Amino acid sequence: MINRITNPDRIQPRENIDFKLDSSIPRYWYDNDPYKSRLMDGMQLYFPDGERYFITCVRHYREQISDPVLIKHVKDFTRQEGQHGIAHTRFNNLLREQGLPVDELLAMQKKRNSFWLKHFSPGFNLALTAAFEHFTALLAEGFFARKAVMAGADPRVKALVAWHAVEEMEHKSVVFNVMTTVAKVSHLKRCAAMIYATLDISWETYRTTDILLKADGFSWWQRKRLLLNHLGWMYGRNGVFGSFSAQILAYMKPGFHPDDIPVVHNYPAWIKAYERTGDPGQACEAMVAAAH
């Protein structure tokens, strides 16, 4: 295996960022569209506990990591995920204030993660984490590569998603490197975990969006109609998930490495603007301005 653990400074943890998230954020903050808003709300709702699960899976191998650059990368990955958890917990508090069943959904997620930790091997849990990390590393591709996708989103939530997407690209190969060079997970297990993760994300995205819309008062028929109306936006060739389906398939190839996929083309615009202003809102706008 080629050693791809290079550049100790590729991951930049940014701490205590204030996204000015408060109750003035509209319920349907994304294009004034209930389905798009609740789909994103549902996804982000799971980030804090999901990221804690990721950290637990990687920590299992901490003592076995000897490469000093990988040790630093794991530390920076943990710091970034910790900050993501804090920011998304703030957003979850706003969703709770809107009367959404946040705690019930989080309790179900905790049960799911505990089940995995108890019944799956450490290697498979790490492979699941690497697969989920591959998805999060592609978030920027789906939501920020093209100007139109997030044009009608509330700037504060958009800035939160952009920051998270940027940092996911920075640490995209950390778990993968631990999985391949330390845990030595087989190609077959890595592929099985990706299939499992894809099914889990697809099902949970559907189920959670449906639960949130039900809590908003939408009837069964209204929810199914909303789902049908958004299938193209989600899974079409240019859909937010469909646009990176080739990169998901690429993960299955023997010899694949996350660094084979370049970071999104407008990533440098976010970095430069953030370095200049220290403001995630302006960094997000610069990234969107540089989008196709």
Instruction: Provide, rounded to whole angstroms, the least separation between the CB of residue 219 and Fe ion.
Output: 34
- Residue among 108, 165, 145, 154 nearest 238 (CA): 145
- Listed in sequence order, the residues at least 6 apart from 114 whose beta carbon sits closer than 8 Å to its beta carbon are none
Question: How far lies 8's CA from each of 4, 77, 164, 178, in Å?
Answer: 11, 12, 20, 15
**Interacting stretch for Fe ion, rule CB under 5 A, among 79-87, 92-100, 204-212, 253-261?**
79-87
Instruction: Provide, rounded to whole angstroms, the least separation between the CB of residue 216 and Fe ion.
Output: 26
Instruction: Provide, rounded to whole angstroms, the least separation between the CB of residue 171 and Fe ion.
Output: 6
Which amino acid is residue 85, in one-letter code?
G
Asked if 88 interacts with Fe ion (CB under 5 A), we say no
Instruction: Provide, rounded to whole angstroms, the least separation between the CB of residue 57 and Fe ion.
Output: 12
Instruction: Provide, rounded to whole angstroms, the least separation between the CB of residue 183 and Fe ion.
Output: 17
Question: How far lies 56's CA from each of 12, 60, 74, 163, 175, in Å?
Answer: 21, 6, 12, 23, 12
Instruction: Provide, rounded to whole angstroms, the least separation between the CB of residue 115 and Fe ion.
Output: 21
- Residue (31 or 259) nearer to Fe ion, CB: 259
| Helix, strand or coil, per DSSP, at residue 185 | coil
Ranked by CB distance to Fe ion, the top (closest) residue is 84
**Interacting stretch for Fe ion, rule CB under 5 A, among 31-39, 84-92, 177-185, 218-226?**
84-92
Footprint (CB under 5 A) of Fe ion, residues 35-74: none
DSSP class of residue 182?
I
**Interacting stretch for Fe ion, rule CB under 5 A, among 121-129, 133-141, 204-212, 248-256?**
133-141
**Interacting stretch for Fe ion, rule CB under 5 A, among 13-21, 136-144, 205-213, 272-280?**
136-144
- Residue (168 or 210) nearer to Fe ion, CB: 168
Asked if 84 interacts with Fe ion (CB under 5 A), we say yes
Length of the chain, in residues: 292
- Residue (208 or 233) nearer to Fe ion, CB: 208
- Listed in sequence order, the residues at least 6 apart from 199 whose beta carbon sits closer than 8 Å to its beta carbon are none
- Residue (91 or 233) nearer to Fe ion, CB: 91
Residue 82, H or E segment: helix 68-97
Footprint (CB under 5 A) of Fe ion, residues 145-174: 168
Q: Pull the structure tokens for residue 24.
A: 């003035």
DSSP class of residue 252?
T
Helices (H), 174-243: 174-177, 187-215, 220-235
Asked if 223 interacts with Fe ion (CB under 5 A), we say no
Instruction: Provide, rounded to whole angstroms, the least separation between the CB of residue 85 and Fe ion.
Output: 8
Using CB atoms within 10 Å of the CB of residue 270, give its burial: 0 to 12 exposed, 13 to 18 middle, 19+ buried: buried
Instruction: Give the interface with Fe ion as residue ranges (CB under 5 A).
Output: 81, 84, 133, 136, 168
